[in-house]
């Protein structure tokens, strides 16, 4: 069994700014998971039958992701300011933005799929559905990646992935019920 890495450190995660989950840091995993659930929900709320086109859904996903990124960044900066009794610094902004960036970067693949509909390479409804399924797949992969990186047993990993898939299946079922 792999030895769990020490993730209790408050040091900012190291790794690429573009890496959705990065070095298995809990803040990155949480942010990526939140971003995927949010994107899946936005996609699920869309309906090509009522006129939502892939371009519109793509804009909704990107806008919602960026809006929540900015809102989280601002609220955390205010929280830090009130907690530490000092104005936030540029270093604070960078650190918090780095922690939150996975929320935005995880939408890259679903957005690329939606762009296939924008370019009329694939019918809009197909790209919308595929983007939703990709979000669910990314949620499962993130759960697997995080649990294995934390030293989880095979059973714990299967459970974590199962919960992610169950959340995704619930979002898909709500889409079906809504439309």
**In the chain, what are the domain boundaries?**
26-178
49-62 residue pLDDT tens: 667 789 999 999 99
C-alpha of 144 from chain center: 14
Q: How far apart are CA 81 and CA 121, in angstroms?
A: 48
- Answer whether 150's CB lies under 8 Å from 24's CB: yes
Q: Check whether 34 has a pLDDT greater than 50.
A: yes
Instruction: Please give the torsion angle defined by the CA atoms of residues 26, 173, 69 and 24, in that order, rounded to the nearest 10 degrees.
Output: 20
Q: Which two tokens stand for residue 169?
A: 């299946």
Which of 143 and 24 is assigned the larger pLDDT? 143
Q: How far apart are CA 82 and CA 73, in angstroms?
A: 14
The residues, any chain, with a CB within 8 Å of residue 167's CB and separated by 6 or more, are 37, 139
Distances from the Cα of 82 to the Cα of 26, 74, 79, 88, angstroms: 24, 12, 5, 10
114-160 residue pLDDT tens: 999 999 899 988 999 999 999 999 999 999 989 988 899 999 999 99
- For 51, the 3-state DSSP assignment is coil
């Amino acid at each position: 069994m792999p030895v769990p890495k020490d993730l209790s450190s408050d040091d900012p995660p190291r790794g690429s700014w573009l890496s959705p989950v990065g070095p298995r840091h809990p803040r990155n995993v949480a942010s990526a998971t939140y971003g995927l659930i949010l994107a899946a929900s936005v996609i699920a709320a869309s309906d090509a039958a009522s006129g939502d086109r892939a371009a519109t859904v793509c804009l909704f996903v990107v806008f919602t992701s960026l809006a929540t990124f900015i809102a989280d960044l601002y609220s955390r900066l205010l929280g830090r300011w009130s907690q530490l009794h000092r104005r936030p610094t540029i270093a604070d902004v960078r650190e918090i933005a780095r922690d939150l960036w996975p929320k935005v970067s995880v939408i890259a693949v679903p957005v690329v799929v939606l762009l296939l509909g924008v370019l009329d390479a694939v019918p809009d409804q197909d790209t919308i559905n595929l983007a939703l399924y990709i979000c669910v797949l990314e949620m499962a992969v993130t759960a697997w990646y995080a649990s294995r990186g934390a030293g989880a047993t095979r059973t714990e990993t299967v459970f974590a992935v199962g919960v992610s898939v169950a959340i995704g299946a619930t979002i898909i079922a709500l889409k079906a019920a809504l439309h």
